[in-house]
Amino acid sequence: MNGLSRFLLRWFVSSLGLWIAAGLLGNNIDYQSSLGVIIVAGFILALINVFIRPLVVILSLPAILVSLGLFMIVINGFMVFLVSKLYTSLEVTNFGAAILAGMIIGLVNYLVSAILEGRDEKA
């Protein structure tokens, strides 16, 4: 899979995860019932995950190691919260909701990756 298709997949998964998180978390995430807001927010989240997240992970490596990787949940939540601050059409009420949304997006990412890897093994 080349870089562009990998980014498009990341964009799709981010958007899908945000949409599912908004549905599950109800009033904690407001996207104005617009699919366009979800798509743009997913794009911004995918960009942040490509450019900013690796730097944040490297800088917080001691906390990640001490917590046996659980600090990654906080980092994922921070990325979602950052998107809500950069793109005001997506409103996340608090950092706790952002952490839950990050967990949901991570789960969606895991499931989509598992499905695609299973499909690749059959081919």
pLDDT at 123: 60
Q: What is the CA radius of gyration of the chain?
A: 15
Show pLDDT as tens, one digit a residue, over the chain (123 residues): 788 999 999 999 999 999 999 999 999 999 999 999 999 999 999 999 999 999 999 999 999 999 999 999 999 999 999 999 999 999 999 999 999 999 999 999 999 988 988 877 776
- Please tell me whether residue 27 adopts helix, strand or coil conformation: helix
The angle at the Cα of 102, spanning 59 to 65, to the nearest 5 degrees, equals: 35
pLDDT at 86: 97
User: 64: which 2 tokens?
Assistant: 């990640």
Tell whether pTM > 0.85: yes
